[in-house]
Amino acid sequence: MSVPSDLEIARSVTPRPIGDLAAELGLRPEELELYGPTKAKVTLAGVERVERERPRGKYVVVTAITPTPLGEGKTTTTVGLAQGLNRIGRRAAVAIRQPSLGPVFGIKGGAAGGGYSQIIPMEDFNLHLTGDIHAISAAHNLASAFLDNHLHHGNALGIDPFSIRWPRVVDISDRAIRKVIVGLGGKENGVPRESEYVITVASEVMAILALAHDLFDLRARLGRIVVATNREGKAVTTEDLGVAGAMTVLLRDAIKPNLLQTLEGGPAYVHCGPFANIAHGNSSILADRLALATSDIVVTEAGFGADMGAEKFFDIKCRASGLRPDAAVVVATIRALKMHGGVGRIVAGRPLDPALTTENVEAVRKGAANLAAQVGIVHSYGVPVVVAINAFPTDTAAEYAVVREVALAAGARDAVVTRNWAEGGKGAEALAAAVWDAAASGEADFRFLYPDEMSLRDKVETIATRVYGADGVDFAPAATKALAEYEALGYGHLPVCVAKTHLSLSHDPSLKGRPTGFRFPIRDVRLSAGAGFIYPLAGDMRTMPGLPSHPAGEKIDIDADGNVVGLF
């Protein structure tokens, strides 16, 4: 018996009119901007009104163990959990990021969830949606154009061309433009200099939009972006270039949260999609505020494992929003725990190693050290944890028992097998009950990992030792110089957003499980003054992905009726 594709499952459901769903949430018609019958933007006035009139719901963040290249079903679990909560009588909403077109057409495919735990319309979710990412690209590249235009017309600000770190962006994976020379072809084409392209979701503008409280906060943050320094070493901002106001105008609609729905008709807020390696990897504060004001409980998702997205959710997003989580979910799969236990090898695009589908209790136990570490990371913030074991047909009861044993010993409140991929909300009812109990328990005693006044160097060392488990940090000369420069410029109070591999708790993707005895290397440190963080670079981080030998886009087309096919 063949299993329907995600796209076939998504199309098997007739979406509810989005206006009907919005009315159930207490939103007024004038607070909606419809993009067809199945998706809409919610005005900022609507967000502010429901916040004034409604109590705040419970706030739950979904994170995970260190993932394999295939991912562990974190988005699917996030959506399924919201569906399960609605099935057990809690008014629940999901709030997640919008995917980049780069991975959709590249190696990952879509990101609307999977199986019977998806957000619909699936095609719209994955392809353009309401145009927010394109607006971000336009705003970012406008600043790039203003910067090069300023150099061309005499450089009155005295910008040091060698200090420029403001790239250009495009939302397609294209390795050929990672490094470029701009300004070639003669005097009228600008000042020649080396530059680069990054994928739009790695843009500081994307990170800013996700952290902005309102249009005026967005305007202020955009104006604080540092594009370069002058010859005296002083920061040169987009405000200095005179472009911050125009950037804000381009983002007037993009700042409004998008309302969609799950396969089972519950609310889904899809807004922003910052890169989880370079940026904070979380959906927008505005979408979370709207969801919390219109629901009893909100399930949001942080990128990659707890050492990446959840740490940044706690230390960056919660710092900026003032919101405090009531509970967290850590997603794990048996196959990933076996990999962390030294069994099998997972390569995206290739058949699964048979060793990962054969019962191996000892490999699961060994690999579950990674799960214990991730549960411990969340606990260090004072947030109660429920482990969600995302079930696959080849898993066994003995393997589940080991995961539960390790999870509870690490301090999790519960560890629940969830089958929402195959069964939708019904398959997540047990997880939903455990998560509601955790969120309603009042056990959360949230605290940040470090205070604002701690030095930037000490913040980096705190994250590396307490979150990643490193013995210490080795700062390259360039990193030491950058940290001193940023503190001298007045940015020492900012939180830290470490850019590292998501495939290990360490900086080295080959170190699986719970690595120990390593030192964490920082080769350089960059500034995102508008977003409000600095980001140290560990290892060779790519801000522009490349396409695989057979990109997912090869299978995407239209059929004889004009419908999208091949999207997964």
Average pLDDT over residues 190-202: 95
Q: What is the pLDDT of residue 285?
A: 98
For the beta carbon of residue 518, count every other beta carbon within 10 angstroms: 18
Among 474, 401, 384, CA closest to 436 = 384
For the beta carbon of residue 245, count every other beta carbon within 10 angstroms: 12
Structural domains in the chain, CATH included, are: 6-130+254-440 (3.40.50.300), 132-250 (3.30.1510.10), 459-537 (3.10.410.10)
Per DSSP bridges, beta strands 235-237 and 32-34 are unpaired
Per DSSP bridges, beta strands 193-199 and 226-229 are unpaired
For 368, how many CA atoms within 13 A lie in the half-sphere containing its CB?
A: 22
Average pLDDT over residues 21-26: 98
Average pLDDT over residues 261-290: 95
| Contact by Cβ (8 Å): 512, 504 | yes
Q: What is the pTM of this model?
A: 0.95
| Contact by Cβ (8 Å): 45, 283 | no
Mean pLDDT of the chain: 95
**Tokens at 333, concatenated:** 């799969």
Indicate which residues carry an active-site annotation.
Answer: 74, 76, 97, 108, 276, 304, 392, 421
Read off the pLDDT of residues 325-361 as tens digits, 9 standing for 90 and up: 999 999 999 999 999 999 988 776 678 889 999 999 9
- pLDDT band for 109, please (50, 70, 90 cuts): confident
**Tokens at 323, concatenated:** 């919101």
Q: CB-based contacts of 451: which residues, under 8 Å, 6+ apart?
A: none
Read off the pLDDT of residues 287-300 as tens digits, 9 standing for 90 and up: 999 999 999 999 99
Q: CB-based contacts of 99: which residues, under 8 Å, 6+ apart?
A: 108, 110, 111, 112, 125, 126, 273
Question: Is the pLDDT at 261 greater than 90, yes or no?
Answer: yes
Question: Is the pLDDT at 258 greater than 70, yes or no?
Answer: yes
Question: Is the pLDDT at 269 greater than 60, yes or no?
Answer: yes
> Which amino acid is residue 477, in one-letter code?
P
Q: CB-based contacts of 262: which residues, under 8 Å, 6+ apart?
A: 79, 82, 83, 94, 117, 118, 119, 120, 268
Average pLDDT over residues 208-233: 97
Read off the pLDDT of residues 303-333 as tens digits, 9 standing for 90 and up: 899 999 999 999 999 999 999 999 999 999 9
For 324, how many CA atoms within 13 A lie in the half-sphere containing its CB?
A: 11
Q: What is the pLDDT of residue 34?
A: 97
| Contact by Cβ (8 Å): 339, 459 | no
CA distance 142 to 190: 15
Residue 557, Cβ density class (10 Å: 0-12 exposed, 13-18 middle, ≥19 buried): exposed
Please, which residues bridge with residue 417 across strands? Answer: 389
> Which amino acid is residue 92, in one-letter code?
A
**Tokens at 120, concatenated:** 């619909």
> Which amino acid is residue 413, in one-letter code?
R
**Tokens at 315, concatenated:** 């230390």
**Helix, strand, coil % (nearest 5) of the chain?**
40, 20, 40
Q: What is the pLDDT of residue 2?
A: 64
Question: Is the pLDDT at 108 greater than 80, yes or no?
Answer: no
Q: ∠ CA 112-117-120 to the nearest 5 degrees? A: 50
Cα Rg of the chain, angstroms = 23
